[in-house]
Structure 1
Amino acid sequence: MSQTKIGALQIGSALSSSKVTIQKVLDYESQIKDEACELIVLPEALIGGYPKGWDFGTRIGYRKEVGREQFLHYWNQTVNLQTDDLKDIRQMAKRTQTNLIIGVIEKVRSSLYCTTAFISNQGELNGVHRKLMPTASERLIWAQGDGSTMPLIKTENLKAGSVICWENYMPLLRSHMYSKDLNLWCASTVDDREIWQASMRHIAYEGRMFLISACQYLGSPSSLGFDTEWPDDKELIRGGSVIVSPMGEVLAGPIYGEEKLLSAEINLDDVIKARYDFDASGHYSRPDIFKLNVDQEERIKN
C-alpha cells in the first residue's frame, strides 16, 4: 500500500518525575487512536527530560557537590530499557495500533545515554538508537553511543531510521543512513531555532524521503518553577515539530508555543518519483570513487 499516515507529538518533559511525563503521553491515547497514524515520533529526551539551563555544578577543573546531587536526581528520573520502565507506553502503542519512536534518557549501569526507543504497534521494543555525539555541555551528563545502534526499523509500509538532534548535521552519519534505503527519516530534537527548519527540509530533499521532526515544548522557567539563568518570561523550548515531503515541501507544521499532535497523510510513491533525478545512495552516489567504512561493533555492555 502506497498511502499511509505519519505524525509527530510535540510535548514537553516534567523534569520532576518521569512518571508525570509518561502520564502526559498517555493522556494523548484517544487522540493518537483517532489519528490512526502508522508511526508517530516523539521528541528527544522526553522521558527523563532535557535539563536545559542546568550546569550540574561544573566548572573547568572542578565540580561542586551540589552538581553531584543534581546528577543523582536526574539519573533517578531516567529509564532502564531492560526493565518495564516503558511498559505503560508500550501497552498504549498496542492499544492504539501505532508504532512509536520516543526519546528517552537511558541508564546503562551508571552512565546515561540520549536514546530513541522503537516501540512497535504490538507493544514490543524493537530497537534503540543511542546518540553518537552529545552536543557541547550535554557531554557532562550523556555518554556517547556506539555504531551498533543505528537500525533500520520496518513497519507495514515504512522503512524508518532515527537520528537525534545535531546528529542530523553529521554528513557521514547521514550518508550511512541513506544507504539503508529509508523512506522515513525521524529526527527527535530539542532544537527550536529557525535554522533547524531549513536543515529538515534539506535532509528530506537530499535523502528524497519523508521526514518527521518532533521537538519538545517547554514553557518559561517561571511557569515551570525552574531556577535557571534563562529569561523568566521566555519559553525554554518553543517547539517547531514539522513533517516534510521527499521534495522538501512542508506538509504539516512547524508548530510553536503549544503541545500538539500533528499528522500528515503521505503517498510513498512520492519517494520513488523524487529519486528519479537524485538518489543519494543509488544512481547519484558514485561508490566507485567514494567509500564509507562504519564500525558497527557493539561496545556498550548492559
Structure 2
Amino acid sequence: MGRVAVVQAASVPFDAEAATAKTEALIAETAAAGAELVVFPEAFIGGYPKGTTFGTAVGLRTERGRDEFARYFAGAVSLDGPEVQRLEAAAAEHRVFVVIGVIERLGNTLYCTALLISPDSGLVGNHRKLMPTGTERLVWGFGDGSTLDTMDSPLGRIGSVICWENYMPLMRQAMYAKGVQLYCAPTADDRPTWQASMVHVAIEGRVFVYSACQFLTIADFPEDHAIDFEMPNGDVLMRGGSMIVDPTGTVLAGPVFDEETILYADVDLEAKYRSHLDFDAVGHYSRPDVFALTVDTRARDSVSFAGP
C-alpha cells in the first residue's frame, strides 16, 4: 500500500529554470503529503505550445516563426543537464519516485519525453513520444522503441505512455507485456472524451492509471508570445481533467477541470491481482496462435560510425 500524487498545474513555458523550481516545490509538497510517486503532465518543463503555429504553412516559414522556435529550443532540457540533475536531487531528498513530461533537447532536435526518476538510482528511463500528434511533428522528433522504459518501485512497476500514444493499441499491448502496473499518462488532452479512454486503459490493462494534464492559460506565456487562433475556451488553453483510475475502472480521484490541483489516491496491488481472475491481455486472455506483436527495441540512430 502506498500513495500516489497527480499534479495538475501550469508549466512555465520556455523557462526551464523557473519550471524546474516549480517542480521542485511540488515534489516537496506531494512528498510532505505522503506521496511515494508523483506524476506530472506532458511537457511540464519546456512547455506545451498550444495554439502556436511557429509561422508555418505548407511550403512557407516565417522569420517570426523561427524566432519562436529558437525560444522554444532554448527552453528545453538535456538529459545530462542541470535541470534533470536537480530533479534527481529532489527525488532523492524527498524519497519519491517522479514521472514528468519534459521537452528534451538532443543535438538539434526536440523530443516530447517522459522522465522516470528513482530516489535511489536517479534517471532510470526517458520515454520519447513515438508519434507526435498532428502539427506537434513540426517541432518534435519521433522516439523509437529503445525508450519504452519502465522502473521498479515498492509500489509496483511504473511506465509512461504520453497523450495520444494511448490511442495506439499496439503501444498499450507492448507496455502491458513489459509488466506495467502503475500506468502513467502525461497528456495535453483536456477534452471530456479523454476520461473514457483512461477508464478503458485501466480495465484493458488491469492497471492503475495516473493521467496528468496541465491547467494552462494564455497568461502563463510570455507577454510577447503570439496565439494565432481564437481558442475554444477563451484564455484557458488547457482545462486539466487529471484523474486516477484503479484496475477495475473505478475512478479514485478526479477528473478536475479549470483549476490547479493535486490529486491523491492509495495504490494496493492486490486490486490488480484480483482483477486478473478473468482477464489478462498478455496472458490467459491472449491468443498468440492468432495474434502476434513484435516490438523493435533497438535505438534508431541516423548515423552509425564503424571502426576505431
For the aligned residue pairs, the C-alpha RMSD in angstroms reads 1.7
> 1:82/1:155 Cα in 2 relative to 1: closer, same or farther (>3 Å)?
same
Kept in 2: contact 1:147–1:297 (CA 8 A): yes
Match of residue 95 from structure 2: 97
Match of residue 230 from structure 1: 230
3-state SS of 1:85 partner:
helix
CA-to-partner distance for each residue in 1:90-128, whole Å, 9 max, x for gaps?
211111100000000001100000000111123611111
Kept in 2: contact 1:6–1:37 (CA 8 A): yes
Matched, 1:108 2:103: no
Of 188-197 and 155-164, more deviation after overlay is shown by: 155-164
Q: How does 1:1-302 map to 2 (within 5 A)?
A: 3-122=1-120, 124-219=122-217, 221=218, 224=221, 225=223, 226-228=225-227, 229-231=229-231, 233-300=234-301
CA-to-partner distance for each residue in 1:44-81, whole Å, 9 max, x for gaps?
01110001111011110121121111111100000010
3-state SS of 2:147 partner:
coil
State the one-letter code of the partner of 2:278.
D
Of 195-204 and 21-30, more deviation after overlay is shown by: 21-30
In 2, the alpha carbon distance for the partners of 1:149 and 1:123 equals 17
State the one-letter code of the partner of 1:268.
L
Aligned residues: 299
CA-to-partner distance for each residue in 1:210-245, whole Å, 9 max, x for gaps?
1100111102x2575453123484310010111001
Match of residue 306 from structure 2: none
Instruction: Report sequence identity in percent.
Output: 44
Of 10-19 and 179-188, more deviation after overlay is shown by: 10-19
3-state SS of 2:82 partner:
coil
Q: Please list every run of 5 or more consecutive structure 2 residues that lacks an aligned counterpart in the other structure.
A: 304-308
Q: Please list every run of 5 or more consecutive structure 1 residues that lacks an aligned counterpart in the other structure.
A: none
In 1, the alpha carbon distance for the partners of 2:139 and 2:123 equals 25
3-state SS of 2:148 partner:
coil
In 1, the alpha carbon distance for the partners of 2:47 and 2:256 equals 20
In 1, the alpha carbon distance for the partners of 2:264 and 2:207 equals 16
In 1, the alpha carbon distance for the partners of 2:20 and 2:82 equals 13
Q: TM-score, normalised by structure 1?
A: 0.95
In 1, the alpha carbon distance for the partners of 2:297 and 2:219 equals 44
In 2, the alpha carbon distance for the partners of 1:102 and 1:299 equals 24
Of 13-22 and 171-180, more deviation after overlay is shown by: 13-22
